[in-house]
Every structure is written in C-alpha cells, then in structure tokens.
Structure 1
Amino acid sequence: MKLPDRKEAEVRRLLEAPVLPLPPDLAERALVLGARLVRRRRLLHLAVCVLLVAVLLGLGVWALTAEPWSTPPPATSPTRGW
C-alpha cells in the first residue's frame, strides 16, 4: 500500500481552496513599482558609468603628469671615470 505523499496532499489542498479576489488596482500598482525600479536601476547605472569615467580620466591625468613609465633620476651623480 502506498503512503500518502505530503507534497501531493498540499497541492490538492491548494487547488481545492477558494480563489481569493485580487485588488482592482493591482496592475496599476505593479506598473508604478516597475517604473520606479527601472528608474532607480538606470540612475545607478548612470552613476557607475560617470564614476568609472571620472576614475579613468583621473588615472590618465596622473599618468601624464607623473610619467610612471620613465626611469627615476639617479640619487647620486655619476662618477667621472678617471
């Protein structure tokens, strides 16, 4: 004999339960919430892009002024070779 499955019993209970009515303004509220989320995501994306451009610009200005690729000047004067 097969024992009753707990998951199957739960699904049957959910299917037999009465359907609750939805609020009439549910679609409108979802639309407003979705639009707000899209605006926030776009603003965050814009802020990250502006920050990235500022960092790259600052790195470029630093590299042009400091010239980290050139050899540093010697600390002592060279010997005369006599």
Structure 2
Amino acid sequence: MNRPEREAAVRRIMDRTPPPVPPQLYEEAVRRGGRMLRRERAARRVLWFLLVAAGVAFLVWALTVQPWVEPPSETTPPVTGW
C-alpha cells in the first residue's frame, strides 16, 4: 500500500458517520472525570501540606541546632591561673 492509497483509505474512514454513542456514556465520563479531579486536588493539597510541614520542621531544627555556629573547641582546656 503506497502513500496515495493510504491517504485515500484514511479519507474514506474519516468520511464515514461516527457510530452512535450510548447515552449513559456521557454521564459515566462526567462522574469519573469529577472523581479524578477531586483525587488530584486532594493529592496536591496533601503534597503542599507535606512540603510546608517539612519546611517548618527544617526551620525549627535549624533554629535549635544552629549548624552555622562553630562548635566550641574541646581539644585544649581553658587556661586558668596565669
């Protein structure tokens, strides 16, 4: 089958009238689509909540541990009695 024959076959297929769609199909699609949107919205909210909770946990950890401060030296004892 060469290219012109394929194009002609595609045109014949596209010129046909589409088959009838069952009437309950639309309602089922709307119901499933609404459920998918609700699930996606809930998942997005949960992920945002986890992201914010992780940020707050990191902030609390950083403020209590203060990793940017140099730890005190413990190798030499303090000099006293001079």
Return the TM-score normalized by structure 2.
Answer: 0.78
Q: Which has the higher helix share?
A: 2
Tell me how far 1:47 sits from its aligned partner.
0.8
Tell me how far 1:16 sits from its aligned partner.
4.3
> Once the two structures are superposed, what CA deviation does each residue of 1:11-31 show, in whole Å capped at 9, x if it has no partner?
222134453110111221111
1:49-60 aligned within 5 A: 49-60=48-59
Q: SS at 2:48's partner residue?
A: helix
Q: In the alignment, is residue 63 of structure 1 matched against residue 62 of structure 2?
A: yes
> Which 4+ stretches in 1 moved above 4 angstroms?
none
Unaligned ranges ≥5, structure 1: none
Comparing 28-37 with 16-25, which one deviates more in the overlay?
A: 16-25
1:39-54 aligned within 5 A: 39-54=38-53
% identical aligned pairs: 41
Return the TM-score normalized by structure 1.
Answer: 0.78
For residues 63 and 6 of structure 1, the distance between their equivalents in structure 2, rounded to whole angstroms, comes to 70
Q: SS at 1:68's partner residue?
A: coil
How many residues get paired?
A: 79
Alignment correspondent of 1:37: 36
User: What value does the CA root-mean-square deviation take over the aligned residues?
Assistant: 2.2
Alignment correspondent of 2:7: 8
Unaligned ranges ≥5, structure 2: none
Comparing 5-14 with 61-70, which one deviates more in the overlay?
A: 5-14
- The amino acid across from 1:68 in the alignment is P
